[in-house]
C-alpha cells in the first residue's frame, strides 16, 4: 500500500460559501454554488459560492475606496506587509499543499516542494523589487514618475493555482495597486486559504478582494467594469480573447499570459543521455499542465532511435497514482474536461500517423476512478500535425526530427505560440546563437535553475505583457512625465 500523507479538510465550509471583500468574509448577493471535484476520486469535495456582477461591483467599490490610501502608503510599509505574507505562506505550506492536492490533483510532494515554495518566491521577489525600485527619476529637467495603475482585476487558472495568484497579487499590491481576484472555479480552495492569509497578514481592508465564480459570470463582469483600470489574465487563448474584447470599450490595460507549445531543441553536440530524460520530465511536470512545458523535442534525425529509447525509459519509470502518496510523481489530470481533451489529442496523434513510443490512450491500469493519464511519447511527428501545433496540456511529448540547424530553428518557430523554449548543447556560443533566433519570451539553455527575477511572457498568441521580476512589477505602474520639474 502507498504511504499516504495525513489529510484533513483544508478549508472551513462556511468560508467556502463566502467572498473576501473589504477586509471581511461576506455572503454572495445570490445564493448559488459551484462544485469542487477531486480529480483523483471524481467526488465533489466542496461547494464554493458562485459570484455575480453584483459581487464584482461590491469588490471593485471596496478596491476603489482603498486605492488612495494604499497608493500613498510608503514603500517600506508595503514591503513589511509582503514580508508577512511571504512568511505566512511558508508557515502554512502543508495546508496549502493539501488543498492543491485535493482540488487539482498535484502530487503531494510536488505541491510541497514546487507549487507552494515557488509561489512564496513571487512574494519575496516583489518585496525585493519594491525596496530598491526608483519611483522617480529626473532626466534633462523632466521628472519621470511611476505610479500605481489603479484597481486591478486578476484572473488566474487552475493548473498552478497559488503560484499564479502570487505572481499577480504580489507585484500589484507592491506597486500600490488594489486588486480583485477571480481564481479558477475549478481550483478555488487554495485561493480561499490565501485570502485568509491576506487578512491575517494585516493588509488593509479593500486592498485585496476575492470573488469566486465562472468566467462568464465574474470574469466578464470584471473585464467590462469601468472602475477596473487593468486586467491581468492567465488562461486559455479563448479566455484571453474574450477578456480583451470585453475590456476594449473601457480601454483598460490588458495583460495576457496564454497558451504555449514550447520547443526543446537538442543540438548535435548535446549529451543526449543527460539531455533527454530531464527534457521528458520538464514536459511532464505538473502532469504536463504548464503553459511553458517543452512538449516538442526537436532532435537530429540520425539520433532519433536513441532519443526514442531514452524518452521511453524515462516516461515508463514515472510513478503515476494517488496524489496523496509520497512516492507519486504524477497525479491525475486536474479536471474531466481536460482529461477528455488529452485523450482526444492522443487519439489524434495516432490517427495522423505519429509513431507511439510509449503510453497511449485510456486510463492508467488499476485506476477505474480518477482522471489518470498514461505518460505518452510520440515520435516521427511532422510539424504540421495537430499534436505538434495544438496545446495538449497533458503528459504528451512529441519528438520531431531535423536534418539541418536552420530546419531545427524553423520547426521551433513553426507555431502560433511563443512562450518558452529550451536549447541543449555543449557549445554555449552556438546555443546562445540558436536562442536568439527562437521567437519566445523565455529560452532556457541546458536546463538552468529557475530564475524568479527573469521576466515571463509570450510572443505571438502566447499573450502580451510580462510577469516576474522588475518587468512584471512595472506592468502595474503608469508613467507620468513632469516637464519643467528641474526649474530653479
Domain with residue 364: its CATH number is: 3.40.309.10
Residue 418 lies in a domain: yes
How far apart, in whole angstroms, are the C-alpha atoms of residue 418 and residue 422? Answer: 12
* Alpha-helical regions (H) of 248-353: 272-284, 304-317, 336-351
Residues 152 and 96 in one domain: yes
Q: Is 73 a catalytic residue?
A: no
Which are the contacts of 346, defined by CB distance < 8 A and separation ≥ 6? Answer: 359, 360, 361, 376, 396
C-alpha cell belonging to residue 131:
525596496
pLDDT at 8 exceeding the cut of 80: no
- Residue whose C-alpha is closest to residue 151's, from 175, 176, 169, 178: 178
Q: Are 267 and 424 in contact (CB under 8 A)?
A: yes
Same domain membership, residue 254 and residue 269: no
Strands (E), 91-249: 136-139, 142-148, 151-155, 178-182, 208-210, 230-234
Residue 29 has pLDDT above 50, yes or no: yes
| pLDDT 10s digits, 297-310 | 999 999 999 999 99
pLDDT digits (tens, 9 = 90+) for 72-106: 999 999 999 999 999 999 999 999 999 999 999 99
Residues 139, 42 share a domain: yes
Output the DSSP codes for 122-159: HHHHHHHHHHH--SEEEETTEEEEEEE--EEEEE--SS
Q: Are residues 135 and 246 in the same domain?
A: yes
Is 478 one of the annotated active-site residues of the chain?
Answer: no
DSSP state letter for 204:
P
**Residue in 103, 121, 185, 257 annotated catalytic:** 257
- pLDDT confidence of 314, banded at 50, 70, 90? very high
Mean pLDDT of 444-463: 97
Q: Positive or negative, the Cα torsion across 106, 341, 167, 203?
A: negative
Q: Are residues 441 and 476 in the same domain?
A: no
Residue 72 sits in a domain whose CATH number is 3.40.605.10
Q: Do 254 and 280 fall into the same domain?
A: no
DSSP label at residue 286: G
- Give the cell for residue 416: 502560433
State the total domains in the chain. 2
**Same structural domain, 429 and 343:** yes
pLDDT above 90: residue 6? no
With respect to residue 382, please indicate whether it lies within any of the assigned structural domains: yes
Q: Is 324 contained in some domain?
A: yes
pLDDT at 10: 66
Q: Where are the beta strands (DSSP E) in 50-203?
A: 136-139, 142-148, 151-155, 178-182
Asked whether residue 81 falls in the same domain as residue 212, the answer is yes
Sign, CA torsion 139/142/148/153 = negative
Confidence band, pLDDT 50/70/90 cuts, at residue 460 = very high
Per DSSP, the residues of 407-474 read HHHHHHT-SSEESEEEEE-S-HHHHHHHHHHS-SSEEEESSPPP-TTS-B--EETTEES-BSHHHHHH
182-204 pLDDT tens trace: 999 999 999 999 999 999 999 99
- Give residue 9's pLDDT: 63
Tens-digit pLDDT profile for residues 129-183: 999 999 999 999 999 999 999 999 999 999 999 999 999 999 999 999 999 999 9
Give the pLDDT score at 12: 78
Domain presence at residue 4: no
User: Do 154 and 296 share a domain, yes or no?
Assistant: no
Specify the pLDDT at position 1.
30
- 14 pLDDT exceeds 80? no
CA distances from 289 to 97, 200, 373, 395, 485 (A): 17, 31, 12, 8, 50
One domain for residues 253 and 289: no
Largest CA distance in the chain: 80
Kindly report, residue by residue over 461-488, the tens digit of the pLDDT: 999 999 999 999 999 999 999 999 989 8
d(CA 183, CA 286): 18
pLDDT, position 81: 98
Question: Is residue 486 situated within a structural domain?
Answer: no
> What is the model's pLDDT at position 11?
73
Q: What is the mean pLDDT of residues 383-406?
A: 98
Cell of 34: 459551484
Given the residues 103, 121, 177, 291, the one annotated as active site: 291
pLDDT for position 91: 98
Residue 417 lies in a domain: yes
Domain with 25, as residue range(s), is 13-258+463-481
* 271 and 252 in a common domain: no
pLDDT of residue 297: 99
Could you tell me if residue 105 is inside a domain?
yes
- Considering the domain architecture, whether residues 232 and 365 belong to the same structural domain is answered as no
- Average pLDDT score, the chain: 96
Q: Could you give the percent of the chain with pLDDT greater than 70?
A: 98
- Residue 114 inside a domain? The answer is yes
Mean pLDDT across the stretch 349-358?
98
Summarised one tens digit per residue, pLDDT across range 225-239 is 999 999 999 999 999
Amino acid at each position: 500500500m502507498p504511504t499516504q500523507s495525513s489529510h484533513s479538510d483544508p478549508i472551513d465550509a462556511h468560508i467556502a460559501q463566502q467572498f473576501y471583500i473589504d477586509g471581511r468574509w461576506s455572503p454572495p448577493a445570490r445564493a448559488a454554488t459551484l462544485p469542487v471535484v477531486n480529480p483523483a476520486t471524481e467526488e465533489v469535495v466542496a461547494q464554493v459560492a458562485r459570484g455575480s456582477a453584483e459581487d464584482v461591483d461590491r469588490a471593485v467599490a471596496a478596491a476603489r475606496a482603498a486605492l488612495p490610501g494604499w497608493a500613498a502608503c510608503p514603500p517600506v510599509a508595503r514591503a513589511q506587509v509582503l514580508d508577512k505574507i511571504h512568511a505566512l505562506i511558508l508557515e502554512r505550506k502543508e495546508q496549502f499543499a493539501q488543498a492543491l492536492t485535493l482540488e487539482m490533483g498535484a502530487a503531494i510532494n510536488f505541491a510541497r516542494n514546487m507549487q507552494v515554495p515557488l509561489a512564496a518566491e513571487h512574494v519575496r521577489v516583489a518585496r525585493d523589487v519594491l525596496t530598491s525600485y526608483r519611483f522617480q527619476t529626473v532626466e534633462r529637467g523632466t521628472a519621470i514618475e511611476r505610479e500605481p495603475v489603479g484597481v486591478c482585476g486578476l484572473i488566474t487558472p487552475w493548473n498552478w493555482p497559488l503560484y499564479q495568484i502570487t505572481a499577480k497579487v504580489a507585484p500589484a499590491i507592491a506597486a500600490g495597486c488594489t486588486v480583485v481576484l477571480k481564481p479558477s472555479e475549478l481550483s478555488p480552495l487554495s485561493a480561499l486559504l490565501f485570502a485568509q492569509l491576506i487578512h491575517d497578514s494585516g493588509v488593509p481592508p479593500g486592498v485585496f478582494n476575492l470573488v469566486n465564480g465562472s468566467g462568464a459570470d465574474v470574469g466578464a463582469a470584471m473585464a467590462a467594469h469601468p472602475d477596473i483600470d487593468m486586467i491581468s489574465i492567465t488562461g486559455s487563448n479563448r479566455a484571453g480573447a474574450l477578456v480583451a474584447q470585453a475590456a476594449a470599450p473601457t480601454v483598460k490595460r490588458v495583460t495576457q499570459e496564454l497558451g504555449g507549445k514550447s520547443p526543446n531543441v537538442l543540438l548535435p553536440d548535446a549529451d543526449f543521455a543527460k539531455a533527454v530524460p530531464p527534457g521528458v520530465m520538464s514536459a511532464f511536470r505538473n502532469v504536463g499542465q504548464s503553459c511553458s512545458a517543452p512538449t516538442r523535442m526537436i532532435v537530429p534525425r540520425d539520433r532519433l532511435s536513441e532519443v526514442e529509447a531514452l524518452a521511453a525509459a524515462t516516461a515508463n519509470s514515472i510513478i503515476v497514482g494517488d496524489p496523496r502518496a509520497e512516492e507519486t510523481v504524477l497525479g491525475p489530470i486536474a479536471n474531466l474536461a481536460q482529461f477528455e481533451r488529452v485523450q482526444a489529442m492522443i487519439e489524434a496523434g495516432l490517427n495522423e500517423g505519429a509513431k507511439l513510443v510509449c503510453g497511449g490512450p485510456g486510463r492508467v491500469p488499476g485506476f477505474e476512478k480518477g482522471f489518470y493519464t498514461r505518460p505518452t511519447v510520440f515520435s516521427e511527428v511532422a510539424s504540421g500535425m495537430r499534436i505538434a501545433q495544438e496545446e495538449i496540456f497533458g503528459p504528451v511529448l512529441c519528438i520531431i526530427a531535423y536534418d539541418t540547424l536552420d530546419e531545427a530553428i524553423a520547426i521551433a518557430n513553426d507555431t502560433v505560440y511563443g512562450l518558452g523554449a529550451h536549447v541543449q548543447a555543449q557549445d554555449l556560443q552556438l546555443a546562445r546563437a540558436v536562442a536568439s533566433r527562437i521567437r519566445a519570451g523565455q529560452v532556457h539553455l541546458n536546463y538552468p535553475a529557475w530564475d524568479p527575477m527573469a521576466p515571463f511572457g509570450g510572443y505571438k498568441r502566447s499573450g502580451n505583457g510580462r510577469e516576474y521580476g522588475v518587468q512584471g512589477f512595472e506592468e502595474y505602474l503608469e508613467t507620468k512625465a513632469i516637464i519643467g520639474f528641474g526649474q530653479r
